[in-house]
């Protein structure tokens, strides 16, 4: 969500700055044009007032009467009239010539636009128009309204993909709630939404895997327990019917073995059920993979094992305990099926760390390569083999590889002829 918040802040700031500059330029141009028109109109109005007063003075109106009239009508209709001594308002000769030609000169101040005209040789007439045209204020409000409306439209356009994806997210969540666990979101190209969609798909993937594990575990557990319970029941029935001490001891031993198998089965079930939660709560650290491989091969202590690796350390992001568990299960699987040779190899390039475990056994058919990673699933040739385990080892391997962000595949090795398990772990982990 932090990406979305950053993107929203960037859009708001960029939109405010850019639109502000654009509308400010337009407003200034509009005000300049309006001011030019208004200035020209005010000049004509002031010049008419000046001519009116000059004509009244030229017609014989006394100076004191003119002063009384000017004071009486000052500020009426937005005009302010003053008679000042020319000594108080000395003007350059250039302006005096302009007044004689045009009748007045115009100067703008904070009070408004003022017309200067010479009434007599000693007096100057000042006529100031103080009206504030409301059109400027209306234009500013109009441009402000357009600015915020445009900014709002820009934000809505930015939010539209988010709201659409949010609606799709709600639809997918409802579908998953109704049991459609294969429902996924299509990850889009918007960088500030990809993390949300990827997180939802990861959640849906984990949920689907959890439900699949529950089905597999319940089915496998019921089958395995039913088999051992049937053996225990048959042993107890036989034990009750016979009086032969040797047969009783024999069947007691078998019953105890089946009870031990049931205990081991339940332990394997609990271990697998707790694995995902344990992985989610485990922090990844830098681990030397070559050191883990060397320890597991030494622990196996089998002459069939051959370890191929570089002398320099091979660091990956993971956990030593779970890496050891992964390699232990892979190696035990190879030891069960290999005849004379097992090869464990680690390689690393700039993108991936690769682990391969190969053997010279019978190999795995293409139709069974996906099945072997499911819990409590054993191949047909292993179904009657008491030493084949419960089919949980490779399921643990697949789950740990997924936690490491990698992939595991099965191929047929050309050199040894058996199965080759290939694990590819990206060196740059995607969060």
- 161 within some domain: no
pLDDT of residue 155: 77
Render pLDDT for 138-170 as a digit per residue (tens, 0 to 9).
666 776 777 777 777 777 777 777 778 777 888
* Same domain, yes or no: 380 and 419: yes
pLDDT of residue 430: 46
The CATH number assigned to the domain holding 19 equals 3.30.450
Query: CA 71, CA 62: separation in Å to the nearest integer?
Result: 14
Query: CA 370, CA 367: separation in Å to the nearest integer?
Result: 7
CB 103: neighbour CB atoms within 10 A? 14
Q: At 183, give phi and psi (nearest 5°).
A: -70, 130
* Same domain, yes or no: 66 and 83: yes
Residue 238 · residue 251 · CB < 8 Å: yes
Tell whether the model's pLDDT for residue 431 goes beyond 50.
no
What is the reported pTM? 0.55
Average pLDDT of span 350-370: 90
- 75 within some domain: yes
Q: Which of 263, 281, 299 is the last residue of a domain?
A: 281
Render pLDDT for 21-36 as a digit per residue (tens, 0 to 9).
776 676 666 655 554 5
Tell whether the model's pLDDT for residue 330 goes beyond 90.
yes
Supply the Cα-derived Rg of the chain in whole angstroms: 47
The CATH number assigned to the domain holding 211 equals 1.10.287.130
Name the domain count of the chain. 3
State what percent of residues in the chain have pLDDT above 70: 75
The CATH number assigned to the domain holding 349 equals 3.30.565.10
* Same domain, yes or no: 276 and 319: no
- 141 within some domain: no
Tell whether the model's pLDDT for residue 105 goes beyond 90.
no
Residue 265 · residue 221 · CB < 8 Å: yes
* Same domain, yes or no: 294 and 422: yes
* Same domain, yes or no: 296 and 404: yes
Render pLDDT for 361-406 as a digit per residue (tens, 0 to 9).
988 888 888 888 887 777 655 545 554 567 788 888 998 998 998 9
* Same domain, yes or no: 292 and 248: no
- Of the ranges 6-10, 121-125, 353-357, 385-389, which one carries the lowest mean pLDDT score? 385-389
Output the six-digit token pair for 290: 């070559």
- Of the ranges 216-225, 232-241, 354-363, which one carries the lowest mean pLDDT score? 216-225
Highest mean pLDDT among 10-19, 144-153, 285-294: 285-294
* Same domain, yes or no: 289 and 422: yes
Residues in the chain: 431
* Same domain, yes or no: 297 and 364: yes
pLDDT grade for 286, boundaries at 50, 70 and 90? very high
pLDDT grade for 292, boundaries at 50, 70 and 90? very high
- 171 within some domain: no
* Same domain, yes or no: 368 and 292: yes
Place of tokens 């320890």: 295
Average pLDDT of span 200-225: 74
Tell whether the model's pLDDT for residue 199 goes beyond 50.
yes
* Same domain, yes or no: 344 and 399: yes
Helices (H), strands (E): how many in the chain?
9, 11
Half-sphere exposure of 217 (CA within 13 A, CB side): 18
Beta bridge partners of 426: 352
Residue 338 · residue 304 · CB < 8 Å: yes
Beta strands in 86-237 (DSSP E): 105-109, 112-118, 123-129
Average pLDDT of span 262-282: 80
pLDDT of residue 389: 64
Q: Which of 255, 281, 307 is the last residue of a domain?
A: 281
* Same domain, yes or no: 289 and 395: yes
- 23 within some domain: yes
Q: Which of 252, 281, 310 is the last residue of a domain?
A: 281
Beta strands in 210-314 (DSSP E): 285-288, 305-308
- 164 within some domain: no
Q: For 112, left (φ over 0), alpha (ψ -120 to 50), or beta?
A: left
* Same domain, yes or no: 297 and 408: yes
Enumerate residues 6+ apart whose C-beta is below 8 A from 332. Answer: 300, 393
- 400 within some domain: yes
pLDDT grade for 13, boundaries at 50, 70 and 90? low
pLDDT of residue 38: 47
Average pLDDT of span 5-30: 66
Enumerate residues 6+ apart whose C-beta is below 8 A from 279. Answer: 322, 399, 400, 403
pLDDT of residue 139: 65
Could you tell me the residue range of the domain that residue 226 belongs to? 184-281
Highest mean pLDDT among 13-27, 122-136, 306-320: 306-320
Tell whether the model's pLDDT for residue 259 goes beyond 70.
yes
- 158 within some domain: no
Average pLDDT, the chain: 78
């Amino acid at each position: 969500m932090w990406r979305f918040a950053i993107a929203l802040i960037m859009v708001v700031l960029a939109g405010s700055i850019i639109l502000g500059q654009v509308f400010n330029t337009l407003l200034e141009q509009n005000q300049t044009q309006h001011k030019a028109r208004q200035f020209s109109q005010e000049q004509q109005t002031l010049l008419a007032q000046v001519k009116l007063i000059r004509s009244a003075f030229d017609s014989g109106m006394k100076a004191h009467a003119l002063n009384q009239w000017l004071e009486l009508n000052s500020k009426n209709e937005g005009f302010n009239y003053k008679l000042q001594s020319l000594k108080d308002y000395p003007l350059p000769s250039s302006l005096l010539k302009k007044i004689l030609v045009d009748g007045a000169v115009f100067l703008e101040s904070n009070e408004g636009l003022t017309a200067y005209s010479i009434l007599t040789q000693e007096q100057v007439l000042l006529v100031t128009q103080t009206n504030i045209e409301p059109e400027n204020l209306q234009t500013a409000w109009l441009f402000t309204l357009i600015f915020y409306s445009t900014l709002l439209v820009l934000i809505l356009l930015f939010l539209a993909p988010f709201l659409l994806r949010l609606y799709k997210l709600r639809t997918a969540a409802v579908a998953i709630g109704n049991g459609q666990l294969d429902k996924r979101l299509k990850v889009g190209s918007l960088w500030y939404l990809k993390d949300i969609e990827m997180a939802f798909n990861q959640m849906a993937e984990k949920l689907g895997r959890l439900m699949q594990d529950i089905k597999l575990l319940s089915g496998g557990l019921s089958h395995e327990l039913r088999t051992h319970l049937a053996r225990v029941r048959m042993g107890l029935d036989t034990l009750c019917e016979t009086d032969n001490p040797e047969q009783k001891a024999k069947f007691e031993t078998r019953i105890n073995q089946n009870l031990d198998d049931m205990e081991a089965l339940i332990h394997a079930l609990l271990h697998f059920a707790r694995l995902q939660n344990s992985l989610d709560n485990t922090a990844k650290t830098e681990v030397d993979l070559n050191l883990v491989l060397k320890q597991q091969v030494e622990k196996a202590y089998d002459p069939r094992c051959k370890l191929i690796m570089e002398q320099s350390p091979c660091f990956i992001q993971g956990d030593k305990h779970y890496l050891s568990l992964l390699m232990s299960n892979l190696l035990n699987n190879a030891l069960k099926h290999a005849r004379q040779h097992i090869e464990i190899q680690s390689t690393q390039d700039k993108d991936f760390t690769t682990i391969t475990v190969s053997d010279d056994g019978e190999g795995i058919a293409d139709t069974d390569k996906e099945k072997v990673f499911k819990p409590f699933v054993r191949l047909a040739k292993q179904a009657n083999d008491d030493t084949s385990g419960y089919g949980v080892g490779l399921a643990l391997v697949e789950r740990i590889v997924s936690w490491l962000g990698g992939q595991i595949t099965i191929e047929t090795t050309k050199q040894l002829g058996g199965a080759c398990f290939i694990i590819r772990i990206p060196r740059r982990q995607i969060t």
